[in-house]
Amino acid sequence: MRALVGSSIVLALTLANVVASDRWPQFRGLQAGVADDDPALPETWSETENVAWKVAIPGQSWSSPVVWGDHVFVTSAISSGTEPTPEKGIADPTPEAGRMRSAAAHRWVVFDVDFKTGATRWQRELRAGPPPINRHVRNSYASETPVTDGERVYVYFGSIGIVAAIDFSGTVVWTRDVGALESGQGWGMAASPLLYKGRLVIVNDNRMQSFIAAFDATSGEPLWRNPREEFEGWSTPVIWENSTRAEIVTAGQRRVRSYDLDGKLLWELSGMSDFGSIPTPVVRQDLVYVSSGYPGSARRPVFAIRPGGSGDISLKQDEISNQHIAWFQPLLGSYQTSGLAYGDYYYTLLDRGFLLCHDAKTGKQIYGRQRVSPEASGFAASPWAYNGKIFLASEDGDTYVLQAGSQYKLLGKNSLNEMIMATPAVAQGSLIVRTQSKLYRIARGSKR
């Protein structure tokens, strides 16, 4: 008992010592890709310059790293066979273009990497066997980013239907089997779990029975589970703490939906792109930005939504705003990358390598399409920002650095020469970048 109390005190002290800039606990961090300014953060790097460490991560996974204190967590699906090389660029929507099933046995593994050294503190295998569902050749069987509260890391592997909590020593606290469900076109899963005030929320849109479900983070007990009328989707749900309430916002193909913390539908919105949604909604104070946009779709919307909605808040024909929608752009949405609200502006990185800037409050265009680089194969990682700079990581492994603000200005390019689709994490003066096979900690003044 005394030991328990002692460890609890240690844990409490540990948590108290972890300040916001020390952690990046979920996909895109706590501010939708925006990190607190820190002059120690790097703005230039290469495979050797400003590299504190780089380590190989086996398998294939496009999930992002998350950070808490001295812990960097990553997931992977490690095949015993040879998997096809992920394709760069925009995927064709035809069924034969991309859908695949690996027959090789995989291991679904969580890694705890030491922030200081890059050494693997522990790795925990949650399941082994052949994948039960298909995936797109550009997807992976471990694309969901874990989330942590400083006590445990929570993981969701949609490809095997497993939700799990693992403590910081690597002990599996609980697991739940929610079923491995085939996505609409067999392109696999990617929506990351959401953690908020003791609730772990997952969304799984599939061809069988789409659902949103919540679990008690401590025990893993199911709290609620509601069906969704969806077919496929890869967008991570977000929590929106606005002036009215806290709500869970999800971007679906058919509808954007918001739920209260008990799973009750608060409002919904139609008009999304006619391919499943990938971008994660962006919360910025009293607006949440929701978007989707397959380039071959006639609808590629961005909606800026105000708090307080109920029922159907969809725009009527020819409307561009209403009581609950502050602004709407019909053809602005990107396909895979999420938006970035930074300073006074809302930035859109199109997968095809263009950056656009709009006034975050009004939706007025500040600058139109600016081609980031004629050489880039495409962009899948979401943009991030700090120190007045915007960072755009291309699938080629090049990160373009731009000046934030009303003028488009490219400042430089940092190359790691390996495919990037995972969005990096930012914490403790470091950038944690995951490439196809490696994990880097980029920090000023480091050299290898």
Partner 1 sequence: MIEAVTRVALALAACAACVALTIGQGLTLSPVGAIAGPIEMIRVQGQRAYVTNGATITALDITTPATPKPLGTYTFPERLWGLRASGATVFVAADRFGVGILEFAPNGTATLRGSVKTPGQAKSVSVSGTTALATDFVSGLDVIDIANASKPVVTESVFLDGLATDVVTSGSYAYAADRPTGFYVFDLSKRMPLEPIGSLQSAVPNNTQRAQLEVIDNAGGRRIVVLVAGGLLQLFDVSTPRAPTKLPPFKTPGNAQRIALDGSLAFVADGPEGVQVVDLANPSAPRIVARFKTSAPAREVAVTDSVVFVGLATGEVAILRR
Round to whole Å and give the CA distance between 204 and 193. Answer: 10
Shortest gap between Cβ of 428 and partner 1 (angstroms)? 35
Round to whole Å and give the CA distance between 74 and 384. Answer: 19
Contacts by residues 93-99 (CB-CB < 8 Å, ≥ 24 positions apart): 93/275, 93/294, 93/296, 95/185, 95/186, 98/136, 98/137, 98/138, 98/187, 99/134, 99/135, 99/136, 99/137, 99/185, 99/186, 99/187
**3 neighbors 410 (Cβ within 8 angstroms):** no
376 binds partner 1 (CB under 8 A): yes
Round to whole Å and give the CA distance between 431 and 50. Answer: 10
297 binds partner 1 (CB under 8 A): yes
Question: Locate tokens 């874990």: which residue?
Answer: 146
413 binds partner 1 (CB under 8 A): no
Question: Among the candidate windows 85-93, 201-209, 281-289, 414-422, which touches partner 1 by CB under 8 A?
Answer: 85-93
- β-partners of residue 156 are 163
87 binds partner 1 (CB under 8 A): yes
89 binds partner 1 (CB under 8 A): yes
Which tokens sit at 27? Answer: 């996909």
95 binds partner 1 (CB under 8 A): no
353 binds partner 1 (CB under 8 A): yes
**Which of residues 25 and 333 has its CB atom nearest to partner 1 in the complex?**
333
**Which of residues 213 and 421 has its CB atom nearest to partner 1 in the complex?**
421
Shortest gap between Cβ of 442 and partner 1 (angstroms)? 26
Q: By rule CB under 8 A, what string of x and - marks binding of each residue 238-277 to partner 1?
A: ----------------------------------------
Which tokens sit at 126? Answer: 């949650």
Question: Among the candidate windows 42-50, 190-198, 369-377, 382-390, which touches partner 1 by CB under 8 A?
Answer: 369-377
Shortest gap between Cβ of 216 and partner 1 (angstroms)? 44
Shortest gap between Cβ of 89 and partner 1 (angstroms)? 4
369 binds partner 1 (CB under 8 A): yes
Shortest gap between Cβ of 247 and partner 1 (angstroms)? 33
85 binds partner 1 (CB under 8 A): no
Site size toward partner 1, by CB under 8 A:
23
3-state class of 414 per DSSP?
strand
Among 129, 130, 222, 296, binds partner 1 (CB under 8 A): 296
Which tokens sit at 401? Answer: 């650095």
295 binds partner 1 (CB under 8 A): yes
121-180 binders of partner 1 (CB under 8 A): none
Closest CA to 237 of 255, 263, 212, 215: 212
389 binds partner 1 (CB under 8 A): no
Shortest gap between Cβ of 298 and partner 1 (angstroms)? 5
Round to whole Å and give the CA distance between 408 and 357. Answer: 8
298 binds partner 1 (CB under 8 A): yes
Closest CA to 112 of 172, 32, 157, 48: 172
**Which of residues 143 and 273 has its CB atom nearest to partner 1 in the complex?**
273
367 binds partner 1 (CB under 8 A): no
331 binds partner 1 (CB under 8 A): yes
Residue 6 main-chain phi, psi, to 5 deg: -60, -45
Among 90, 137, 172, 223, binds partner 1 (CB under 8 A): 90
3-state class of 15 per DSSP?
helix
354 binds partner 1 (CB under 8 A): yes
Among 121, 207, 352, 413, binds partner 1 (CB under 8 A): 352
Where do runs of H (alpha helix) occur along 18-72? none
Question: Locate tokens 């035809």: which residue?
Answer: 94
92 binds partner 1 (CB under 8 A): yes
49 binds partner 1 (CB under 8 A): no
Which tokens sit at 266? Answer: 């608060």
Give the list of residues 6+ apart from residue 10 with CB closer than 8 angstroms, or none: none
Shortest gap between Cβ of 400 and partner 1 (angstroms)? 14
Question: Among the candidate windows 174-182, 249-257, 302-310, 347-355, which touches partner 1 by CB under 8 A?
Answer: 347-355
377 binds partner 1 (CB under 8 A): yes
Residue 191 main-chain phi, psi, to 5 deg: -65, 125
Round to whole Å and give the CA distance between 160 and 177. Answer: 8
Beta strands in 69-119 (DSSP E): 71-79, 99-100, 106-114
Shortest gap between Cβ of 345 and partner 1 (angstroms)? 21
Helix (H), strand (E) at residue 16: helix 2-17
Q: Give contact residues for partner 1 (rule: CB under 8 A).
A: 87-90, 92, 94, 97, 295-298, 331, 351-354, 369, 371, 374-378
